[in-house]
Amino acid sequence: MRVLHAVRSDGFAGVERHIASLAVEQERAGHRVAVVGGDPTAMAGLLDTVPHRPARTVTQTAAAIGRWRGYDVLHVHMTAAELAAVLADPFGRSPVVATRHFAGRRGSEALARTAARVIEHRLAAQIAISSYVARSVEGTSTVVPTGVPVRPPGRPAAERDRTVLVVQRLQPEKQTAVAVEAFARSGLAEQGWSMDVVGPGAERARLERQAAAQASPGSVRFLGRRHDVQDRMAAAAVLLAPCPLEGLGMSVLEAMAAGLPVVAAAAGGHLETVGSTQGAALFPPGDVDVAARLLRELAADQGRRDTYGSALRLTQQQRFTVAEQQRATEAVYRSVL
């Protein structure tokens, strides 16, 4: 099949990683694939031989879609790209499949609601990345969980750094403040542990002030956007995932693939990833005391970290691979062709 993915974006976060990973796997499966949108440099680094065109506005996305003729399926991601698909092909020459990445309905204002009705009429099928997202969006969805590559296990717990890792955008809904406070209350800094926070965002300055006020000096480091996340996951002791609204959680899946123990908020997509693993370390959303206790318990028990990390890795290999995501996505395409 000839597949065109589109997202209105000049950034690179979970959605863009999702698209790039799926596109490469689809090409490996023998399909002809191209991608519109996402940060050009970051996308080029992952897409390899998959053609790519940038698109930072709705009109640029529509124009790029329009220039790519002959695709069998147009696969769009996020509402802006859905709208661009309508503008680029208003008469429906090719089926449009939309993936819903977040747990929310389209449009909160009158104009947006009108656009949402047009989009819904144009879609041939809708994919949700988790059952949580499928329950939260309008319309019927086929659940196709995001997959990540199967990776070699990281170091055993005895050889890992005494580091708690946080990997996410620093935006209010991600609740990074919960992670900082939980680490501070855990008392691990006094035992020589540190926390590394990876990711860009508008809340960085406020979080740095919070860390300075609550945690031991120098124990919390804000590293911004990094290109060595996989290496850090292979070496860290624990990943802390405080966001209660993750559609599924790409960083959590990547940690699971690395055999990295995860402490996560018991909500959203985390219940389907970490929560489907025996012995899951889950805390009520926002509960810093329970999160701190779970960090202390894992830090004190190397054997448990090894066992738990291996169980998470097995869950990823059984349920959240890119190969399985490709197979299930292809079945959706064939259902509309």
Q: What is the mean pLDDT of each run of 10 residues along the chain (337 residues)?
A: 97 93 97 97 93 96 93 95 90 91 79 73 95 96 96 91 97 97 98 97 97 96 94 96 96 96 98 96 98 98 97 97 98 97
* Distances in whole angstroms, Cα of residue 139 to Cα of each of 121, 123, 126: 11, 10, 8
pLDDT at 122: 87
pLDDT in the model for residue 109: 58
How far is it, in rounded angstroms, from Cα 241 to Cα 292?
Answer: 12
Burial profile 191-227: b = 16 or more Cβ within 10 angstroms, e = fewer: eebbbbbbbbbebeeebbebbeeebeeebbebbeeee
Judge contact between 120 and 87, C-beta under 8 A: no
Note whether 195 and 178 are within 8 A (CB).
Answer: no
Contacts of residue 263, Cβ cutoff 8 Å, sequence gap at least 6: 238, 239, 240, 241, 281, 282, 283, 291, 294, 295, 298
Q: What is the largest CA-CA distance in the chain?
A: 64
Name the CA radius of gyration of the chain, rounded. 20
> With b meaning 16 or more CB within 10 Å and e meaning fewer, what string describes 76-103?
bbbbbbbbbbbebbeeeebbbbbbbbbb
Cβ 190 vs Cβ 292: under 8 Å:
no
Quick one: pLDDT at residue 118? 82
- The pTM is what? 0.93
pLDDT of residue 154: 81
**Cα distance between residue 253 and residue 248, in whole Å:** 8
